[in-house]
């Protein structure tokens, strides 16, 4: 493995921060070496400094590759089931009541390879019983074009669907395709996935629910506030924000009220 020098690590950390807002501290040296070494040129003398210089010079393909490599794609279907029980037993029933055609907009921010967004769709079906004619739209965004491409395909390895899904859920929501598993077409049609940066997101209409889970831990306080200001501004009145179980946000977002339901925490716009 090609070692990254202290100067190169600082250079790469500054560059990655400028692209993504993600902070790479000195203890992330192993991550830089493990994920960025494959991007070095075939020359045995290629260095991380040269890699960074090429990206800064406008090599857009390399820039995207660096973002894809550094971004964390750790996710699974029904990750932290308490959150989806919260949606199933409280948030969705209270929102729809007897009007299953009521419009709803959901944003899965930093959606990775799509499992969270598709899981939300599965929970919706369990509440509404069928997805025909529903007026729900789920938007998934991620800074990684690799992740967004995978989410749009909705095609997963057996090892990916075995994490979080029962055999019954696999049979209900997936079709086997040459040893892989594709999300059912009607479920996929609920979801749209786009490349976007949480620190400078594209303008769009506000949402009823935003999920931004296990993302803020990668940001410093300044970036956390920027992201949370954006998320809060994109919520409809009384809208719901869901973050990771260990992520505390009230000191950054005074407009939000913390609420609890059966061990799950959510935040609501005042």
State residue 226's pLDDT score.
94
Closest CA to 229 of 214, 213, 251: 251
Band (pLDDT 50/70/90 cuts) for residue 150 is: very high
Place of tokens 């794609």: 73
Structural domain harbouring 56:
6-70
State residue 171's pLDDT score.
95
Rounded Cα distance, 166 and 168, in Å: 5
CA 94 remoteness from chain centre: 25
User: Same domain for 99 and 193?
Assistant: yes
With pLDDT > 90 as the criterion, what percentage of the chain qualifies? 57
Place of tokens 């509440």: 127
Tell me, yes or no, whether 177 lies in a domain. no
State residue 31's pLDDT score.
80
Closest CA to 237 of 204, 270, 203: 270
Band (pLDDT 50/70/90 cuts) for residue 45 is: low
Whether 182 has a pLDDT exceeding 80, the answer reads yes
State residue 68's pLDDT score.
84
Rounded average pLDDT over 61-74: 84
Rounded average pLDDT over 35-46: 74
User: Same domain for 35 and 145?
Assistant: no
User: Same domain for 62 and 96?
Assistant: no
With pLDDT > 70 as the criterion, what percentage of the chain qualifies? 98
State residue 230's pLDDT score.
94
Tell me, yes or no, whether 253 lies in a domain. yes
Q: Which of 70, 94, 120 is the last residue of a domain?
A: 70
User: Same domain for 132 and 244?
Assistant: yes
- 190-231 tens-digit pLDDT: 999 999 999 988 888 999 999 999 999 888 899 999 999 999
Q: Which of 49, 70, 91 is the last residue of a domain?
A: 70
Q: Which of 23, 50, 70 is the last residue of a domain?
A: 70
Rounded average pLDDT over 61-69: 87
- 94-144 tens-digit pLDDT: 999 988 889 999 999 999 999 999 999 999 998 887 777 788 999 999 999
Tell me, yes or no, whether 214 lies in a domain. yes
Whether 42 has a pLDDT exceeding 80, the answer reads no
Rounded average pLDDT over 258-262: 94
User: Same domain for 107 and 36?
Assistant: no
Q: What is the DSSP letter of 219?
A: S
- 154-167 tens-digit pLDDT: 999 999 998 899 99
User: Same domain for 120 and 229?
Assistant: yes
Whether 73 has a pLDDT exceeding 90, the answer reads no
Whether 43 has a pLDDT exceeding 80, the answer reads no
Rounded average pLDDT over 245-256: 90
Question: Which one has a higher pLDDT value, 184 or 29?
Answer: 184
- The CATH code of the domain that includes 194 is 3.40.50.150
Tell me, yes or no, whether 260 lies in a domain. yes
Closest CA to 202 of 118, 115, 152, 139: 139
User: Same domain for 141 and 234?
Assistant: yes
Rounded Cα distance, 150 and 134, in Å: 25
Rounded Cα distance, 261 and 49, in Å: 49
Whether 239 has a pLDDT exceeding 70, the answer reads yes
User: In sequence order, what E strands does the chain have?
Assistant: 104-109, 136-142, 155-156, 174-177, 180-183, 191-195, 207-212, 235-243, 256-261, 264-269
Rounded Cα distance, 114 and 147, in Å: 8
State residue 107's pLDDT score.
98
Whether 18 has a pLDDT exceeding 90, the answer reads no
State residue 173's pLDDT score.
95
Number of domains in the chain: 2
């Amino acid at each position: 493995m090609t070692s990254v020098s202290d100067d190169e690590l600082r250079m790469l950390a500054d560059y990655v921060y400028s692209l993504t807002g993600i902070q790479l501290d000195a203890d992330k040296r192993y991550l830089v070496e493990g994920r960025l070494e494959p991007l070095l040129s075939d020359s045995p003398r290629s260095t991380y400094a040269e890699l960074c210089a090429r990206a800064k010079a406008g090599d857009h393909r390399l820039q995207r590759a660096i973002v894809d490599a550094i971004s964390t794609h750790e996710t699974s279907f029904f990750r932290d089931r308490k959150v989806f029980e919260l949606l199933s037993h409280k948030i969705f029933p209270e929102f729809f009541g007897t009007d299953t055609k009521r419009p709803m907009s959901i944003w899965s921010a930093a959606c990775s390879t799509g499992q969270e967004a598709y899981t939300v769709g599965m929970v919706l079906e369990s509440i509404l019983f069928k997805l025909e004619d529903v007026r729900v739209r789920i938007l998934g965004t991620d800074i990684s074009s690799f992740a967004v491409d995978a989410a749009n395909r909705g095609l997963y390895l057996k090892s990916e669907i075995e994490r979080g899904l029962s055999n019954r859920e696999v049979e209900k929501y997936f079709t086997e395709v040459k040893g892989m598993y594709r999300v059912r077409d009607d479920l996929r049609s609920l979801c749209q996935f786009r490349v976007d940066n949480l620190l400078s997101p594209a303008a769009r209409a506000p949402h009823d629910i935003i999920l931004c889970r296990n993302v803020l831990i990668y940001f410093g306080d300044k970036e956390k506030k920027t992201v949370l200001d954006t998320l809060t501004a994109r919520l409809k009145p009384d809208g719901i924000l869901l973050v990771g179980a260990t992520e505390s946000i009230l000191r950054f977002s005074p407009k939000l009220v913390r609420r609890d339901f059966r061990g799950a925490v959510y935040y609501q716009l005042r």
